[in-house]
Amino acid sequence: MFHLSAGHVKSLATAAVKRGLTYIDCPVTGLPEAAAKGQLTLLIGAEQEDLERVGTVLSSISGVIRHFGPVGTGTAYKLMINLMGAIQIAALAEGLAQAERLGLNRKW
């Protein structure tokens, strides 16, 4: 089974560098409409010089570029965002279930 983690991303970067390639960690956020307009938010983990080298390409698909540090930090930040979103969804579900158990009117 595949598990995305900052560590896994770092191992991919190591393998890429061994082959003479550059690896940029670049998760995105944004809805499909933002993608269609080239307005995604990019969460970058990369060496500064690598980011500068591809900045024009990244700017063509994004409205916001956030550079968090070396490879792995973009993924770490994205996973943190995903965790917070999952917690909010779970809390909402628990609240609705509790309201139902208490007999509250959910239609008002």
Note whether 74 and 45 are within 8 A (CB).
Answer: yes
Handedness of CA 5, 59, 54, 51 (dihedral sign): negative
- For residue 95 the two structure tokens come to 């609240």
2 pLDDT tier (thresholds 50, 70, 90): low
Given the residues 10, 18, 37, 78, select the one marked as catalytic.
Answer: 78
> Could you report the per-residue pLDDT of 70-98, keeping only the tens digit for each?
999 999 999 999 999 999 999 999 999 99
User: Which residues, at least 6 apart from 16, have a Cβ–Cβ distance to it below 8 Å?
Assistant: 22, 23
The pTM (predicted TM-score) of the whole model is: 0.83
Note whether 106 and 31 are within 8 A (CB).
Answer: no
37 is catalytic: no
**Cα(40)–Cα(94) distance, rounded to whole angstroms?**
31
> Could you report the per-residue pLDDT of 15-61, keeping only the tens digit for each?
999 999 999 999 999 899 998 999 999 999 999 999 999 999 999 99
Q: What is the pLDDT of residue 108?
A: 67
